[in-house]
Structure 1
Amino acid sequence: MLRVCVHQIRKDLYGDLIDFKKRFDTTSKVKFQTVIKNCMKQIAGGISAALVSIANHIPFTLIRAIENSQDEDQ
C-alpha cells in the first residue's frame, strides 16, 4: 500500500477506462466478477470500502454503486 502513487489512487477511486480494460480483460467477465465478490466479502468483514477499492484496483465509485444496488448480479 505504501508504494501506490497518488495518480494510481485517483484512478482507483474514480476509475480509468483504459486502466480498467488492462486489468480486467473485457472479453471475459469471470475475472472481474471474482474480484468484485472478493471485495464485497472484505467489506462485509469490516474493511473500509475505499481501502478495498484501492487494494484491488476497482473504482471506488463502482464499489459504492454495487453496495447500494439491490441486485448483486447486475
Structure 2
Amino acid sequence: MLTTSGSGLDPHLSPEAIAWQAGRVAAARQLPLDKVQALIDASTQRPLIGPPVVNVLTLNMSLNQLPSAPRNAQL
C-alpha cells in the first residue's frame, strides 16, 4: 500500500488500499460497511489508461456529509 506520486500531492489511492481501511472507518464512524463501500464505489475513477483509483478527498468529504458521523476517522 505504500506508494508515491510524481508530485507528492496525488489525492488517489487504489481501491484495494481503500478496502483495507474500510472496516476500521465504518466502525469508527458507526456506519454499516456497505454504506462505506457504496461511497468508495462512488468515489472510484476509472481512467482510460491505467488502473482504477479512488479520490480520497472526495471520499472523505462524502463521509463528512453523513449525519452524526464522527469526523475522527478518515481514509
Common fold, TM-score beyond 0.5? no
TM-score normalised to structure 1 length? 0.31
